[in-house]
Structure formats: C-alpha cells, structure tokens
Amino acid sequence: MTQPSPYKSTGGLLRIARALGYSLQGLGAAWRHEAAFRQETALAVILIPLGLWLGDTALERLLLAGMLVLVLVVELINSAIEALADAISTDHHPLLGRAKDIGSAAVLLTLLLTGAAWAAVLAPRWWPS
C-alpha cells in the first residue's frame, strides 16, 4: 500500500488560500517568461470587452469572451509542458520535441476555434444570408 504524499494538503480554507497563491504565482511566471502569453493576454484585454459589447445575447457574449479565456488556458498548459520538457533536458530529444509540438498544436487549434466562433457569431450581421 502506498503512503499518502506529504506534498498534498488535506483541505480546508488554508488549502484554498494556498491554491490561490500558487495559481497567482503561475500567472506571474507565465507573464514574466512567456512572450506568447503576454501577446495573447494583450489581445484578450482588447477583444474581451469588444466581445461583451458585440454579443447580442448572454450566450454570444459568453462565447466571444470565453473563447479568448480558453486560448489563455491552453497557452498556460502549453507553457507548462515546455517548461517541464526544458527542465528534463535542453538537449534535442524526439519525445520532448513531440510534446512541445503537440502543446503548440493545441494552442493553434484553440486559436482557429476562437476565430471560427467569432466569425459564426459576427459574420451573419455583416453578410446576411
């Protein structure tokens, strides 16, 4: 039988406070070390209010703004994969390279999905069928 990890907390308000602190540290690290995260955040700062303004319904506003938040989430996961891969080795390794490429592909697909969602919501207003 395995022992419980000494690094896992048991719960309570202190766990929630620590988790928030770790999350804020992660956001700060992404901001400091990841140019793509800074660029996507700058874009989100502009486009989220625009999406909230352009959306006619609550669902449209949620879709337009939420897709931008999803881009940031996937970028954070990609950055975590890249940092972990670099911590393992900065030498060329095919599996580490594959992991980085797959993380990058996830960001690309999320960006394409975001563009498609924005087009699906906004295009009918300018090009009615």
Active site residues: 75
Q: Which residues of 6-33 are buried (b: 16+ CB within 10 A; e: fewer)?
A: eeeeeeeeeeeeeeeeeeeeeeeebeee
Burial 98-122 (b: 16+ CB within 10 A, else e): ebbeebeeebeebbeebeebbeebe
